[in-house]
Structure 1
Amino acid sequence: MLNEKNILHKCRLFIIGASGHGKVIEALARESACYSKITILDDNEELKHIGKVPGGKEYALEFRDCADVIVGIGNAAIRKKIIEYYEEKQINVTSLTHPFSWVASDVRIDNGTVIMAGAVVQPGCTLGKGVIVNTSSSIDHDCKIGNYCHISVGSHIAGTVCIGDNTWIGAGATVSNNITICNDVMIGAGAVVVKDIMEPGTYVGVPAKKIG
């Protein structure tokens, strides 16, 4: 879908996850001024017991006709599981873009994706489902970012890069142009990727090398 779909919000937003990432998404949502009410939910029974959240993810089901949901959890596997849960329940999983980011008008953004403050996404890019484009990161022209990827704080993706599903690009990492990275890869903080990565695992260093 094109990112102009993001303006078609309902009146209420539920953010799933009371972690630090959830708080950042809450701040983003308030800055966007698209919702009249924003509520954080969490399945942590202790948080429900002390009244910090009104309930877990099931709580949003009562508001399916008037609410959007978004998952504020950094773990890709958990994020995927919850997004799929809401899709099965036919609740709209929205995407959010911070007003102080810059995203080209032709960028395609799937459901559940968040683009944080200071991020830049250049023309011709596609962002999959449940992607995190974190604070002050950049994705240059004609990149394809797979489902449930995390482009961490201050990382930079050069042009015409293809990143597979469930891949984590660490804080301050750099991926050179025309690179392909397969599914299920973790790139360490500050690493520099200068050649294709076709085997899942963890890669660190300059240039990035597999360590596990």
Structure 2
Amino acid sequence: MEGIVLVGGGGHCKAVIDVIRKEGKFEIIGIVDSHLPAGSLVLDVEVIGDDSNLLELSKKVQNFHITVGQIQSNTIRKKLATQLLDLNVKLPNIISPIANISYYSSIGKGITVMHQATIQAESQIGDFTIINDHALVEHEVQIGRFCHISTGAIINGNVMIGDNVFIGSGAVIVQGVKIPNGSFIKANQLVK
């Protein structure tokens, strides 16, 4: 089993740890977080350093996954992605074994797909995007880079979502809508 380092130790990290354990593809080496002391635990995973340790760790471990969440801003996620890309490490997708992803869909790198999310045929998911628990991405949807589709959100067919977009929990995006870059859709909002 290959090792992986998680970058970010907050609430999103806890959810991702659970997905990784269920997926069974990676052994979690530890967590890098600039706000938690080395040696502390997030669930049962040790914090092994902060962002300044990424270069050193990249010489020992090939796989990294950004586990900083995204609500108000994705600035930290983007900064970390740039750092990791510069280190030329692998940025595998973390996909729950109880998510439903169409064989005919296309997903980028560094993506997180949580429990019971669904991605339907001919949908395209951009790099470093989070598809959270119970989110539904219908057929022929295009989602850009660094987006967060929150729990229970429904993205209907042929929707186009730009980069850096946050879709809140329970939001419904009606078929064929175009969401511009940087949009923030509130929880339970209907967009038509």
Q: TM-score, normalised by structure 1?
A: 0.82
- Alignment correspondent of 1:3: none
- Whether 1:53 and 2:47 are equivalent positions in the alignment is yes
| Distance in 2 between residues matched to 1:63 and 1:152, nearest whole Å | 30
Q: CA deviation at 1:38?
A: 3.8
Which of 120, 123, 126 is residue 121 of structure 2 equivalent to? 123
Total equivalences in the alignment: 184
Larger-gyration structure (1/2):
1
Compute the displacement of 1:174 (Å): 0.2
RMSD of the TM alignment (CA)? 1.7
Residues 49 and 114 (structure 1), Cα distance of their counterparts in 2 relative to 1, 3 Å cut: closer
Map residues 11-160 of structure 1 onto 2, 5 A cutoff: 11-44=2-35, 46-48=36-38, 52-61=46-55, 62-64=57-59, 66-75=61-70, 76-160=74-158
CA contact (8 A) 1:14 1:60 kept: no
Q: Hey, what's the Cα distance between the residues in 2 that align with 1:37 and 1:50?
A: 15
5+ residue gaps, structure 2, are none
Summarize the alignment of residues 189-204 of structure 1 with structure 2, pairs less than 5 Å apart.
189-194=187-192
Q: Distance in 2 between matches of 1:85 and 1:73?
A: 14
Identity, in percent, stands at 27
Change (3 A) 1:50 1:24: closer
Q: Do 1:64 and 1:91's aligned partners in 2 also have CA atoms closer than 8 Å?
A: no
Following TM superposition, by how much is the alpha carbon of 1:64 offset from its aligned partner in structure 2, in angstroms?
Answer: 4.1
CA distance in 1, matches of 2:14, 2:179: 30
- How far the C-alpha of 1:109 sits from its partner, in A, is 1.1
Q: Does structure 2 conserve the Cα–Cα contact (< 8 Å) formed by 1:15 and 1:41?
A: yes
Assess if the C-alpha contact under 8 Å between 2:13 and 2:67 holds in 1. yes
Q: Are the structure 2 counterparts of residues 60 and 136 from structure 1 closer, same or farther at C-alpha, using a change threshold of 3 Å? A: same
Counterparts of 2:40 and 2:113, CA distance in 1:
31
Per the normalisation by structure 2, the TM-score is 0.90
* Most deviating of 110-119 and 52-61: 52-61
Q: Are 1:14 and 1:38, in contact at CA under 8 Å, matched by a contact in 2? A: yes
